[in-house]
Amino acid sequence: MNIDGSTFLITGGTAGIGKATAQMIVDLGGKVAITGRDKKKLEKVAKEINAFPIHADVAKEEDVNKTYEQFLKEFGRLDCLVNNAGIGGGWSEITELDMEAFHKVYAVNVFGAAMMGSKAAQLFKKQNYGNIVNIASTAALKGYASGTIYSSSKFALRGMTQCWQADLRKYNVRVILVNPSEVTTAFGNPKRVERDEISNKLRSEEIAHTIVSTLKMDDRGFIPEVSVWATNPF
């Protein structure tokens, strides 16, 4: 796709991968809206990177509807959804699983992503064109100790991505899954403070570069799934 002049909706765009991706797309001439739950932070970041702010929580169905209403009022058309909003938590061994933690993580990582994707797909089917990028994790590829809740949520997103690919290819819609490995962001930090950059760990910029690179491929082709690992994290 041609980034310049196209419209992008990026959930969870106030920090980390979402913010870096929004900034990179804006720098390439894209028109970007970002969502976030912290209104003050959202407005500050949107102003900083020249994006349109939408105060919304993807875990709330009324906010999903509001997001698309505000986006279409501002831009008139959607070319790409980046389903980036996600949370960690619930890390515990199988003997200590908690239903509330399951609901909290799945509400964002699975249900929120699904509803955002469904709304985008409705638009894309009508216009016979569109792009969806789902941000999963290498935890979607292999489970690990104490990862039942988080890892399974990303496995679910990976499975949904494959279903959407089957649903939407005939409408010229590309659905791409990006699996970041460990990235030094605020992810999983209860205070949402960005972690210090570590020279041998991934940054948000590497993931943003991956997202933009996959999207820039000519529309006749797409990359169904890509994983990004640090070269030497040891």
Residues designated as active site: 150, 154
Count how many Cα atoms sit within 13 Å of the Cα of residue 39 in the half-sphere of its side chain. 1
Instruction: Specify the amino acid at residue 204.
Output: S
Q: Is 140 exposed, middle or buried (0-12, 13-18, 19+ CB in 10 A)?
A: buried
Residue with structure tokens 């690179």?
213
Integer distance in angstroms from the first to the last C-alpha of the chain? 36
Helix or strand (DSSP H, E) at 205 = helix 204-216
Count how many Cα atoms sit within 13 Å of the Cα of residue 75 in the half-sphere of its side chain. 24
